[in-house]
């Protein structure tokens, strides 16, 4: 078992294990990403390449990673941005690709991007700690890292949306200063899927 002191949080870069980052993004939402990519192997192949595309919501520049310094393994990720992040991606190619992208890009990614353009807050869209490393306060380290980052940019609030039946995530956010800020609303799923119930949470920086 690894000691938490051996976990380093730092910005992701092009030389990182992009497939591991893609895998961890895939595991942050059991509705949208399985619908989008069908399975984790597809996500690892495709999303790992898109991480390098300028302006894409999951661009490597928006991601910070938790690394086990003993093994250099990426054990956690957090994807976050602000209205000043480069989110000027042309989604046309994705939309044209297939029905799945057409649905999800229209209803999910564009919604997120448009939302963030209008608010003076930071936004966390994805956080994941690898199964073997959960319960070691790595999520706490990742959250504190991005909070410090945006505090230094003089922002004073950070928010996120979370599926309410994802108890581990809700508890982890509550333990790290986030409070529910909205009524329950309907999240995004594939057209034939049951729609998840979601709330927005935010924390002062």
Tokens matching residue 48: 């790992």
What lies within 8 Å, CB to CB, of 55 at 6+ separation is 86, 87, 88, 89, 90
Interaction mask 160-189, ligand COA, x per CB under 6 A: --x---xxxx-xx--x--------------
Rule CB under 6 A: is residue 7 a binding residue for ligand COA?
A: no
Find the shortest distance in angstroms from Cβ 67 to ligand COA. 14
Find the shortest distance in angstroms from Cβ 155 to ligand COA. 20
Nearer to ligand COA by C-beta: 19 or 141?
141
| Rounded (5°) CA angle 188-141-204 | 65
Q: Where would I find the beta strands (DSSP E) of the chain? A: 7-11, 63-68, 73-81, 122-129, 157-163, 179-180, 185-186, 197-204
Residues 119-158 interacting with ligand COA (rule: CB under 6 A): 127-129, 134-140
Find the shortest distance in angstroms from Cβ 54 to ligand COA. 25
Query: For residues 94 and 101, what is the distance between their CA atoms, to the nearest angstrom?
Result: 6
Token pair 């790290």 in the structure block, residue: 176
Find the shortest distance in angstroms from Cβ 26 to ligand COA. 10
Find the shortest distance in angstroms from Cβ 49 to ligand COA. 22
Tokens matching residue 69: 């310094």
Nearer to ligand COA by C-beta: 18 or 169?
169
Find the shortest distance in angstroms from Cβ 184 to ligand COA. 15
Query: For residues 103 and 180, what is the distance between their CA atoms, to the nearest angstrom?
Result: 28
Rule CB under 6 A: is residue 20 a binding residue for ligand COA?
A: no
Q: How many CB atoms lie within 10 A of CB 78?
A: 27
3-state secondary structure of 163: strand
Q: Pick from 19, 27, 147, 149: which binds ligand COA (CB under 6 A)?
A: 27
Q: Give the footprint of ligand COA on this chain (CB under 6 A).
A: 27-28, 127-129, 134-140, 162, 166-169, 171-172, 175
């Amino acid at each position: 078992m690894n000691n938490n002191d051996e976990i380093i949080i730092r910005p992701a870069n092009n030389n990182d294990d992009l497939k591991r980052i893609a895998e961890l993004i895939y595991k942050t939402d059991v509705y949208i990403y399985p619908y989008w990519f069908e399975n984790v192997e597809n996500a690892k192949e495709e999303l790992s390449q898109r991480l390098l595309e300028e302006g894409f919501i999951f661009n490597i520049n928006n991601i910070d990673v938790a690394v086990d310094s003993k093994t250099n393994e990426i054990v956690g990720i957090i994807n976050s941005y602000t209205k000043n992040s480069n989110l000027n991606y042309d989604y046309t190619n994705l939309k044209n690709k297939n029905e799945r992208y057409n649905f999800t890009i229209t209803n999910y990614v564009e919604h997120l991007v448009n939302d963030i353009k209008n608010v003076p807050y930071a936004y966390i869209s994805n956080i994941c700690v690898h199964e073997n490393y959960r319960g070691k306060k790595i999520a706490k380290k990742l959250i504190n890292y991005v909070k410090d980052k945006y505090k230094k940019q003089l922002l004073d609030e950070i928010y996120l949306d979370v599926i309410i039946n994802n108890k581990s995530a809700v508890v982890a956010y509550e333990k790290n200063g986030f409070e529910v800020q909205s009524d329950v609303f309907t999240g995004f799923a594939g057209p034939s899927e049951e729609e998840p119930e979601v709330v927005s949470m935010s924390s002062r920086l």
